[in-house]
Amino acid sequence: MTRLPPETPRLRLVLPGAAHKAAHDGFCASPRSNVAMAEQATDHFDALLNHHELLGYGPFVAVRKAGGEAIGVFGPWNIDSQPDPEIAFMIWDPVHEGRGYGFEATVAARAFAHWVLGWRSAVSYISAANRRASRLAGRLGALRDGAWTTPAGTVLDVWRHPDPEGA
């Protein structure tokens, strides 16, 4: 079911693949990630791949058109343990922060979820300590909508994205 991935002026959003695993695993092993993710990097990457296989869609890897670097994961994520479908966004290397890539990729991925997948509602689950991600969610027009406790006991802020049709 995965349809043609979106593009932006500076980025191609592509299906995750073996070429992206090293960048993903580097992020998972960094202080920017969390301990559980570092320990489960391979499982997390496999989940990205399997999401597409099982559901026909999933997060995309954003790749810079100029240079070809994979910069992170952006897009629709909908697993049973979460109460709402999620627009995930994660920049793997801080060298790509502060350049608008996160905003650009997330807008394109969110549009894909809304217009191609038909999602009218989606959230982003963000740690309160992750101020950069919270600011990005706000710039995307998402509003704080309470908190959610994961099955592992982690409390995350819920940021609800606007309905594209304004309802």
**pLDDT at residue 21 above 60?**
yes
Query: What pLDDT, on a 0 to 100 scale, did the predictor assign at position 32?
Result: 77
Q: Where are the domains of the chain?
A: 11-122
Residue 157: enclosing H or E segment and its boundaries?
strand 155-160
Band (91; pLDDT cuts 50, 70, 90): very high
The residue with tokens 């790749």 is: 63
Structure tokens at 60: 């995309």
Which has more confidence, 39 or 157? 157
Query: The domain 11-122: what is its CATH number?
Result: 3.40.630.30
- Mean residue pLDDT across the chain: 91
pTM of the model: 0.91
**DSSP assignment of 118-143:** --S--EEEE-TT-HHHHHHHHHTT-E
Tens of pLDDT along 92-136? 999 999 999 999 999 999 999 999 999 999 999 999 999 999 999
C-beta separation of 107 from 140 below 8 A: yes
Query: What pLDDT, on a 0 to 100 scale, did the predictor assign at position 167?
Result: 57
Q: Where would I find the beta strands (DSSP E) of 26-108?
A: 60-64, 70-77, 86-91
Query: What pLDDT, on a 0 to 100 scale, did the predictor assign at position 35?
Result: 53
Query: What pLDDT, on a 0 to 100 scale, did the predictor assign at position 28?
Result: 85
Which has more confidence, 159 or 22? 159
Mean pLDDT of 138-160: 96
Rounded Cα distance between 117 and 54, Å, is 15
Q: How far is CA 61 from the centre of its chain?
A: 9
Residue 150: closest CA among 75, 61, 84: 84
Tens of pLDDT along 76-88? 999 889 999 999 9
Q: How far is CA 29 from CA 34, 124, 127, 150, in A?
A: 8, 22, 18, 21
